[in-house]
Structure 1
Amino acid sequence: MNGSREFMIGALLSIPSFDLSARVHHRLHSRGFREITDSNSTVMKLLGPEGDRITELANKAGVTKQSMGYLVEQLETAGYVERVDDPIDARAVIIRRTKKGWAYTRAAAEEVAKLQEEWTQLLGRAKMKELKSLLAELVAKLGHHYEGSYLEAVTRPPGQRRGSQARS
């Protein structure tokens, strides 16, 4: 890096994040998951292992219920999610992954792991470990709860998510 130039933290965080998302999306498309858009992939990342209500998904994504409903409808039409009755509130429905949705999630986790290994080869193991440690520290100091990646959380079997109870 050029020592006389100050690099903006936003770009330094955004560029690798964008690169990761774009490359994973391309690889998943090559694996046959062609119906998933960038917006749809965000929904799939945010969807908990036991499923979520549309309002919960909308809150996680920072969008309106209507916008989230539209995205969920696209995923439902493509066969990635389904609506089931909420056992806790008969007025509500839960959006959860189908077998196809779980296959997508597992494939995404595999591709992220491959790219992380590629980055490790570029930086070296020690620097990659340090990078992850510094980012985890920043996330914690910003007051965000982090238990691993969304994909790590959602690939765990239902009822085994860290820090939560399965819906009965």
Structure 2
Amino acid sequence: MPKSSPLTEGPPFVGALLRLCLEQVRARMRQAAREAGFTDLQDAHWALLTYPAPDGVRPSELARRASMSRQAANHLIAQMEALGYFERRSPEGAARRLVFLTPRGRALCETIFACLRTIHAEWAGQLGAEPFAAMLAGLRRIAGPDIAPAR
């Protein structure tokens, strides 16, 4: 192994680098949401706004994604309902109520997606299109088989 390679370098390691990038992304998403008029969101609400979008999912699934108790998630879901982002309803023929995005929730998600597309373009400009595409492909591969590029 060469003296200086990604395998022999010290801190920050991959987890810290991913966290630092994630913090930048989250700050930009929150800023974009505020600038688009979504000023009523609290930091805790963002835990429910994960990939994939919380549309047609069980409250327990949102709790799992956010690594929180079902009780905490239900409290936040109720707040997001009161703010007009989510609604709970039972699909036809189903007994359980699922969480769905309202039109306001969809508009927030579109604002977030637009922000993320901007970040992609900026980072591709910084790294170069091919290295950025390779990085995304590698992250998708590491993230798991269910992660595929959007069409």
| TM-score normalised by the chain length of structure 1 | 0.75
Q: How does 1:41-52 map to 2 (within 5 A)?
A: 41-45=46-50, 46-49=52-55, 51-52=56-57
Q: Say which SS state the counterpart of residue 63 (structure 1) adopts.
A: coil
The 8 Å contact of residues 52 and 95 in structure 1, kept in 2 or not, is answered as yes
Are residues 78 and 48 of structure 1, via their aligned partners in 2, closer, same or farther at CA, if it must alter by over 3 Å?
A: closer
1:62 aligns with 2:67: yes
Q: Give 2:134's aligned amino acid.
A: E
Point out where structure 2 has 5 or more consecutive residues left out of the alignment: none
Q: Say which SS state the counterpart of residue 79 (structure 1) adopts.
A: coil
My pick for the range that moved more, 98-107 or 29-38, is: 29-38
Q: Say which SS state the counterpart of residue 134 (structure 2) adopts.
A: helix
| TM-score normalised by the chain length of structure 2 | 0.83
Q: Give 1:118's aligned amino acid.
A: E
**Separation of aligned partners in 2, 1:133 and 1:83:** 35
Larger relative CO (CA 8 A, sep 6+): 1 or 2?
1
Identity rate, percent = 23
My pick for the range that moved more, 35-44 or 122-131, is: 35-44
User: How many aligned residue pairs are there?
Assistant: 143
Q: Give 2:128's aligned amino acid.
A: G
CA RMSD of aligned residues (A): 2.2
**Separation of aligned partners in 2, 1:112 and 1:93:** 30
State the shift of 1:11 in Å.
0.9
The 8 Å contact of residues 86 and 94 in structure 1, kept in 2 or not, is answered as yes
Q: 1:20 aligns with which of 25, 30, 36?
A: 25
